[in-house]
Amino acid sequence: MNEMNFGKKLLSKDESQRLFEQFSENGNNLYKGEDPILRKELFLPLSQEVERSKLLGSKKEKYKSDIFVGMKLYELLSPLHLSMRIAASDDFWRYLSIKVLPDLVYARWDGLKKDRFWEKPNRIWLRVIWWYVHLAWQNDAGVTMDCLNDSCFSTDTVAQLVERSGRHGYRIDLYRCMMLKAKENQLNQEEFRAMMTLNTIRIVNIEPRFFNGGVSGYVDNLIETIKNNVVE
């Protein structure tokens, strides 16, 4: 991806709503020709995967498709090019969803779902899949993909992780560690959900970075508790 000034590629909530209401229900002509350079960079590589996902039925298959699109999007808009200031801007993701790739969002969600385009930041699809990959990132695309492909993760995990930003932002190091150790310890989906819930309770009183063994020791302890079904 060439260097681009993403700082100006923003769309407010009001403006997003206005443009969204002009979209036709049948999904025809959603893309109005704006920002062709960015569109060119993103559309083709992402649309192939989204087109494939339209043929898929189960939630598991949809999840697999989402992580492929998420990884591709993260590769194209990597933190090397997309600053964290912009990545944290809901208005940037609205711009992408409404102005640059509306047909893609429409295709993935099989219709005009306003949550997935602009309304609720934690549900804007492109934002969610980018942040999901970011929160799982293991310093290498192959290792990250391998991790995300593990059977313990599902569309539910995406919601668990991205929608739990907390009042003070993501604990990125903790989330990355939880994802990796969930795979290493072969947790199932139910155990992963239990680990997230236990973490929500414990983190009120414990700072993971200062627990025995740091963040890694903290996550080991969560998993041990879940596996032994022991709550201290």
State the binding string over 198-217 for another protein (x if CB under 8 A, else -).
Answer: ------xxxxxxxxx-----
User: How far apart are CB 190 and another protein at their closest, in Å?
Assistant: 27
Task: Look at the alpha carbons of 45, 48, 54, 55 in this order and tell me if their dihedral is positive or negative.
Answer: negative
| Angle in degrees, 0-180, between the axes of helices 155-162 and 189-202, rounded to the nearest 10 | 10
Residue 169 binds another protein, judged by CB under 8 A: yes
Q: Which lies closer to another protein via its Cβ, residue 133 or residue 152?
A: 133
In degrees, rounded to 5, the angle at the alpha carbon of residue 130 between the alpha carbons of residues 107 and 162 is 100
- Furthest C-alpha separation in the chain: 58
Q: Which helix (H) or strand (E) holds 197?
A: helix 189-202
Q: Which lies closer to another protein via its Cβ, residue 175 or residue 192?
A: 175
Selected from 14, 21, 25, 110, the binder of another protein by CB under 8 A is 14
**Using CA atoms, how far apart are residues 121 and 118, in angstroms rounded to an integer?**
7
Within 10 A of 119 (CB to CB), how many other CB atoms are there? 15
User: How far apart are CB 132 and another protein at their closest, in Å?
Assistant: 13
**Using CA atoms, how far apart are residues 171 and 135, in angstroms rounded to an integer?**
9
Q: Which lies closer to another protein via its Cβ, residue 64 or residue 176?
A: 176
User: How far apart are CB 152 and another protein at their closest, in Å?
Assistant: 24
Nearest to 211 by CA among 184, 179, 182, 171: 171
**Using CA atoms, how far apart are residues 54 and 106, in angstroms rounded to an integer?**
11
Q: Which lies closer to another protein via its Cβ, residue 57 or residue 166?
A: 166
Within 10 A of 16 (CB to CB), how many other CB atoms are there? 23
Residue 118 binds another protein, judged by CB under 8 A: no
User: How far apart are CB 129 and another protein at their closest, in Å?
Assistant: 15
**Interacting residues with another protein between 49 and 78 (CB under 8 A):** none
User: How far apart are CB 214 and another protein at their closest, in Å?
Assistant: 9
Within 10 A of 55 (CB to CB), how many other CB atoms are there? 8
Residue 122 binds another protein, judged by CB under 8 A: no
**Interacting residues with another protein between 77 and 116 (CB under 8 A):** 83-89
Q: Which lies closer to another protein via its Cβ, residue 192 or residue 218?
A: 218
Q: Which lies closer to another protein via its Cβ, residue 102 or residue 121?
A: 121
User: How far apart are CB 170 and another protein at their closest, in Å?
Assistant: 5
Q: How far is CA 116 from the centre of its chain?
A: 12
- The footprint of another protein (CB under 8 A) covers 7, 14, 83-89, 131, 165-172, 204-212, 218
